[in-house]
């Protein structure tokens, strides 16, 4: 039986940004995913377009908000992508959804070592603003555009500090492995990750794992190398097949 691809969306990719970051830049991934994949960047309270809302300071509350934003789509094929702080949120969300019987098809993480790996830096979230900014800047953990605009950076510092606190005080509590494939991405010059810490994500899944090391540092969302790798990895998830029409115009039933 000949099978053809459905013209409708077959996978939704939910995106979770880095500490202090907003959802808007992740919309650019629409041009870096296979046909039929819908990109949905998620905006957290106190970030981006929700900047005036109260910040969430507990990982459990963040995960609850993420699942609320996903809404009814949880019953349809989806994947989770998170960068840096977002990788940790995506990982915890995957566990929450697995426990509710609606796990993702794939968990994609970037710019963050395994959640059971030691923290890659000394805690920064309690430092005064200048020292916090200096420390993150030294490690390449703040986008250059923000560093170039001190007044804008000052607006984002509260959300950055709150997210960083969750990262730096995080404690892994899950027993066993996540029954979801994991794909990891990291920059070879990223001071916040290392190959061994990224490879350790393999221990967090009982399914397939792959790691892609890229040129560059912590931020590579718009790099052609990452975008090509992302498209290729998502393309390995088979979209649903639609039975081809028979000569009489009817459709054959699916193969089992």
Active site residues: 84
Q: Could you tell me if 47 and 166 are in contact, meaning their C-beta atoms sit under 8 angstroms apart?
A: no
121 exposure class (CB count in 10 Å sphere: 0-12, 13-18, 19+)? middle
Kindly give, in sequence order, each residue whose CB lies less than 8 Å from that of residue 75, ignoring residues fewer than 6 positions away.
Answer: 102
178 phi and psi, to 5 degrees?
-75, 130
Q: Which two tokens stand for residue 243?
A: 């039975």
SS (HEC) of 91-137:
HHHHHHHHHCCCCCCEEEEECCCCCCCCCCCCCCCCCCHHHHHHHHH
**22, 36, 176, 200, 252 from 2: Cα distances, Å:** 43, 19, 40, 41, 10
State the SS3 of 177-212. Answer: CECCCEEEEEECCCCCCCHHHHHHHHHHECCCEEEE
Closest CA to 90 of 9, 178, 188, 158: 178
CA dist 69 and 60 (Å) reads 14
Query: Which letter does DSSP use for residue 38 in this model?
Result: E
């Amino acid at each position: 039986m000949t099978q053809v691809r459905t013209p409708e969306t077959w996978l939704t990719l939910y995106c979770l940004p880095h500490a202090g970051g907003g959802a808007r830049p992740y919309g650019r991934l629409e041009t870096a995913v296979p046909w039929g994949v819908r990109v949905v960047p998620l905006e957290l309270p106190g970030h981006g377009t929700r900047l005036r809302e109260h910040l969430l300071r507990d990982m459990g509350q963040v995960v609850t908000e993420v699942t609320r934003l996903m809404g009814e789509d949880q019953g349809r094929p989806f994947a989770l992508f998170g960068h840096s702080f977002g990788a940790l949120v995506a990982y915890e969300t995957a566990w929450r959804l697995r426990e509710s019987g609606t796990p993702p098809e794939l968990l994609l993480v970037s710019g963050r070592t395994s959640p059971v790996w030691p923290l890659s830096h000394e805690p920064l979230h309690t430092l005064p603003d200048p020292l916090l900014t200096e420390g993150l800047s030294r490690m390449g953990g703040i986008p250059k555009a923000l560093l170039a605009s001190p007044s804008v950076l000052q607006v984002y510092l509260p959300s950055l500090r709150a997210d960083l606190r969750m990262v730096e005080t995080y404690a892994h509590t899950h027993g066993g492995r996540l029954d979801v494939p994991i794909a990891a991405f990291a920059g070879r010059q990223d001071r916040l990750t290392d190959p061994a810490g990224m490879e350790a994500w393999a221990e967090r899944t009982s399914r397939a794992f792959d790691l892609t090391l890229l040129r560059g540092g912590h931020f590579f969302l718009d790099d052609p190398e990452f975008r090509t790798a992302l498209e290729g990895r998502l393309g390995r998830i088979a979209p649903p097949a639609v039975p081809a029409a028979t000569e009489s115009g009817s459709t054959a039933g699916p193969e089992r």
